[in-house]
Structures are given as C-alpha cells and as structure tokens.
Amino acid sequence: MTVEDYKESGKSSTLEMAFDAVYERLGSDLPKLEHEYRFHAVRRWRFDRALPDYQVAVELEGGAHGRPLRCHNCGSVVRARKKDGSPGGMIMSAGAHQRGHFQEDIEKYNSAALLGWIVLRFTHDDVTGEPFAMIDSVRKAVQSRQPTVPMIENLIPKEVDILYLIAAGYASEEIARRVGLGDNTVRNYVRSASQKLCTRTRAGSVARAIVWGLIDPARIPFPDTVEIDLPGKQKPGADSPAPAG
C-alpha cells in the first residue's frame, strides 16, 4: 500500500503505514491482515490489524497523533514556522497511547484473551528497530493456531438468545418458557445455530459462540441460586434429624 492509498483511505498513522510495509516485505508467507477488525459482536471493540481465522491480533501503540495544540490566550491552533517565516504544519500533542495511558484498553484486552485471542502489541521501536523479531512473533502466533471454519450464515437474534440461556444451564422446557416458544421450535433454533457454527452439540455451540465473540460471557443470565443434588445428600423430610439447637 502506497502513501497515496493511505491518504485516500483516511489513514493518517505513519506507524500503521510502517507496520504494513514491514509485514508485506518480511511476512510474505503469512496470511493477509484485515484492517480495523471488529472482534466482538456485542461490544464495538476493534483491533488495528487481525488474522481472524487464527484469532491473532496486532495492536499498534504510539501511532496516535493526538490533538493540535492551541494558544491559551486566543485559542488558535499553534503552527510551526518555516525558514521563510510562513506558518507551517500544526503541532500535535502526544496521543493517549504515546503518553502510556492504556487503562481504557484493559477491559478490551482481557475480553479478547477470554475469547481466545492472541493480542500482540507493538510500539514504534518494535516496528522500526526490531522488524524481524516483530514479524517472527506474528509468525509463531499463527503457527500455534489452527484456522477456524467460518459460519455458513449469521446467527439471528432468537438463536443468540437461546444460546445465552443454554450457556446459563437452563433446560429445554425452561428455555421454551422464557422465550415464549414451543419445545420443538426451540429445538429447531438450536439445530440451526449448531449448523451455522459447525458444531454437533449444544455445549460446542456455546463454546464456539463465545470464542467467536457472538456471546458476551459477562451477560450470560445465570440463575441467582442453583440447587445441586449431590450424591448422598439427605433431602429434608419426616425422617430428617432435627437441627441441633
């Protein structure tokens, strides 16, 4: 990708342009990267670069230009001055990543790890100073994964709702009652979701939906209390011993 291509696509980060150039030259054996990949179907989180089939992502830290500096008195944008005295380009403040403020990304990266992603974070020094080591780390991450089979069709909202209830541990009858459908209709939805996710079991469908970001684990509606019938557990009844008092 040339500089002109970047300008036309709206990309302004020289770090992204440098990374893509290095990846194209040194990683010719690697799969093609997707730009600004949205990895979570519920949250609006994106990766700078990603290999979705391998769940390997790249985040470039330090490429943000930040905001233009403004005069404290008049509020006008501060510009550099050329040798001939004419105003030059705007002077930009450091971006959030350049200042090292990564707090807003903690939840994003933790969720990505929970969904099975390998997230590689590179700085300007990695891209320009250690390009071979950087690409080698991407190559090792890809080699450690097996490509996943994409869905043949997107899940519909009702299928996602039912998968959430399956993940919560509800039985078919309870799921049917909660979604207001018949038992056979629920089974048809489960069968359809399994086919789209290329799985054979309900547990497999839930697991793959979580890995692919179709289900947010934090939003699974687990019951508040679950009664577990353990082997040997004495049920309350007439023969039960009176509690010690």
Q: What is the pLDDT of residue 99?
A: 44
Give the separation between CA 82 and CA 79, rounded to whole angstroms: 9
Alpha carbon separation from 206 to 32, 76, 188, 191, 220 (Å, rounded): 28, 54, 16, 12, 11
pTM of the model: 0.51
* pLDDT per residue rounded down to tens, the chain (245 residues): 444 444 444 444 678 888 999 999 999 889 999 999 988 877 788 899 999 989 999 998 865 445 566 776 777 777 777 777 777 766 655 444 444 445 567 788 888 888 889 999 998 888 988 999 999 999 999 988 866 566 778 899 999 999 999 999 999 999 999 999 999 999 999 999 998 888 889 998 998 888 788 888 889 998 875 454 445 545 555 454 555 54
Give the separation between CA 208 and CA 194, rounded to whole angstroms: 10
Residue 87 Cα to chain centre, angstroms: 43
Alpha carbon separation from 128 to 79, 135, 149, 214 (Å, rounded): 27, 12, 35, 36
Q: What is the DSSP letter of 103?
A: G
Q: What is the pLDDT of residue 170?
A: 93
Q: What is the pLDDT of residue 230?
A: 46
Per the CB < 8 A criterion, the answer to whether 154 and 164 are in contact is no
Give the separation between CA 4 and CA 13, rounded to whole angstroms: 13
Per the CB < 8 A criterion, the answer to whether 119 and 85 are in contact is no
Q: What is the pLDDT of residue 120?
A: 94
Q: What is the pLDDT of residue 96?
A: 44
Q: What is the pLDDT of residue 1?
A: 41
Q: What is the pLDDT of residue 149?
A: 62
79 forms beta bridges with 90
Q: What is the DSSP letter of 25?
A: H
Helix ranges, 65-171 (H): 106-114, 124-129, 131-143, 157-167
Q: What is the pLDDT of residue 7?
A: 41
Q: What is the pLDDT of residue 33?
A: 94
SS3 120: strand
Domains delineated in the chain: 11-61+102-143 (3.40.960.10), 157-219 (1.10.10.10)
CA atoms within 13 A on the CB side of 133: 9
Helix (H) or strand (E) holding 26: helix 14-26
Q: What is the pLDDT of residue 116?
A: 85
